[in-house]
Amino acid sequence: MKIPAQVPPPPVLSQDTQAMLDSLQLAVTKTLDRKRRLGHYAVQWVDGAPVLVGEDAPDAGTPGETVGHKSAA
Q: Is residue 42 a part of any domain in this protein?
A: yes
For the stretch 22-62, pLDDT in tens is: 999 999 999 999 999 999 999 999 999 999 988 888 886 65
Largest alpha-carbon pair distance within the chain?
Answer: 61
Q: Is the pLDDT of residue 63 over 60?
A: no
pLDDT at res. 40: 92
Q: Is residue 24 a part of any domain in this protein?
A: no
Residue pair 54/36 in contact (Cβ under 8 Å)? The answer is: yes
Confidence of residue 70 (pLDDT cuts 50, 70, 90): very low
Using alpha carbons only, give the angle 59, 65, 68 rounded to the nearest 5 degrees: 55
Q: Is residue 51 a part of any domain in this protein?
A: yes
Q: Is residue 4 a part of any domain in this protein?
A: no
Q: Is residue 67 a part of any domain in this protein?
A: no
Total residues found in the chain within this entry? 73
Distances (CA, A) of 4 to 7, 11, 45: 9, 21, 27
pLDDT at res. 35: 92
Provide the number of structural domains found in the chain. Answer: 1
Cα separation of 52 and 44, whole Å?
Answer: 6
Domain boundaries, position 53? 32-58
